[in-house]
Amino acid sequence: MTLPCFSIIIETENLSSAELEGLSRCLDTLANQDVSPTTANEVLIVESGDVPVDVIERLRRDYPWLTFRRAEPGIEYYAAKMQGVGFTTGDVIVFCDSDCTYRSDWLRNLLTPFAENQDIQVVAGETTTPIFNPYELAIALTYIFPRFSQLSSLQPSASYFCNNVAFRRDFLLKYPIPTQLPIYRGNCVVHARSLKTQGYTIWKQPQSQATHAAPNGLSHFFWRFLLLGYDAIAVCRLSYDAHQSQLIQDLRACLRLSWNKATEFTSRVYTVFAEDWRRIVYLPLALPIALAALVLYFTGLILGWVKPNAFLNAGDKVEVSWEQS
């Protein structure tokens, strides 16, 4: 089977709150793909000033198939992704993140559906987090990334993660990821909802697996979970019915989001121990961390409910001085 010509885009905005070594780990897993990155039209790093010059030079030597493009300072995550599209030429655009690692068959599995079916426009892989200690267990129970589904075939999906997704280039240019929204990281949720409304299907490829790093440090942990709750209701507001009371719609959204988070946590408890029951030894230390994450989420949810503009700057963008991931 002839795979479509493709480009890979990696942004470095995530590195402002993740270990710089994470980028090298990411690139190592790309270098080890069974579809070589040298066959890509471009493997583009959209560099936002977070990578020192000497590190860039080392990366150029170690990974000669990389191309670097400088983004304007302070560019946000989704804007960096979309800016990168303009610098690439592949028929399929593959998004990955500098704080993720990828299974060796990830790229082939992500590209194959495009070769098999010309009607497929979006293919999303599955992203999860590692569990090797109590902290990572707590993150697995509470963070945005679910466990791997263990499925083997394409499935329709209501969502995607921008660290593990591919689009046909023409389709993405016609239906770009929105960037000017008064939210922090929910743009792909809004985008996925819009595509579904217009009758398009996001296809999930369970065999394209990525592992995302856990929040790095206390500040990152604090702001990430607080903003998850804050974003949750802010994203809901973008699809409210203008003819109904916002107060009532806010109440419904908060109740629904709270129920979903509680049921998700219960499901995750079952799933992580079904994967490996020996993780039970981590539970005594993991539970307080997981509870702290949930408290932060619900605090952010309530804050977003009672004070919607809490973190918005003059440009209606979420801005938190201690967090840029």
- According to DSSP H, which parts of the chain are helical? 21-31, 53-62, 77-85, 106-116, 134-142, 169-174, 187-197, 218-237, 246-275, 283-306
pLDDT tens, the chain, 325 aa long: 799 999 999 987 766 555 677 888 999 999 999 999 999 999 999 887 777 888 889 999 999 999 999 887 778 889 999 999 999 999 999 999 989 999 999 999 999 999 999 999 999 999 999 999 999 999 999 999 999 999 999 999 999 999 999 999 999 999 999 998 999 989 999 999 999 999 999 999 999 999 999 998 899 999 999 999 999 999 999 999 888 999 999 999 999 999 999 999 999 999 999 999 999 999 999 999 999 999 999 999 999 999 998 888 867 778 775 544 4
pLDDT tens column, 48-73: 777 788 888 999 999 999 999 988 77
Whole-angstrom distance, CA of residue 163 vs CA of residue 173: 18
pLDDT of residue 324: 43
pLDDT tens column, 201-245: 999 999 999 999 999 889 999 999 999 999 999 999 999 988 899
Token pair 């952010």: residue: 300
- Do residues 131 and 175 make contact, with C-beta atoms less than 8 angstroms apart? no
218 burial class (0-12, 13-18, 19+ CB within 10 angstroms)? exposed
Beta carbons within 8 Å of 4's beta carbon, 6+ residues apart: 90, 91, 92, 111, 114, 115
pLDDT of residue 289: 98
Between the CA of residue 14 and those of 11, 56, 189, what are the distances in Å?
7, 16, 18
pLDDT of residue 323: 47
pLDDT of residue 36: 95
Q: Rounding to the nearest 10 degrees, give the CA dihedral for residues 73, 75, 36, 203.
A: 180
The predicted model scores a pTM of 0.93
